[in-house]
Amino acid sequence: MKQITNKEYEEWQKYKPEIVTVPKAIIFR
């Protein structure tokens, strides 16, 4: 697991568009 940056979050959001209500400092596997 790692903590992603805002830039990574934006990229990740493209692949996980159903998850948009999570905080910017999201932690995921």
What is the per-residue pLDDT across 1-29, written as a single tens digit (0 to 9) for each? 567 777 877 777 776 656 555 565 555 54
pLDDT of residue 22: 58
- The answer to whether 29 and 3 are in contact (CB under 8 A) is no
Token pair, residue 19, equals 């998850």
**Residue 20 is part of which domain span?**
1-29
pTM to 2 decimals?
0.31
pLDDT of residue 5: 78
pLDDT of residue 6: 79
**CB burial string 3-29: b at 16+ within 10 A, e below:** eeeeeebeeeeeeeeeeeeeeeeeeee
- The answer to whether 8 and 27 are in contact (CB under 8 A) is no
Specify the number of domains making up the chain: 1
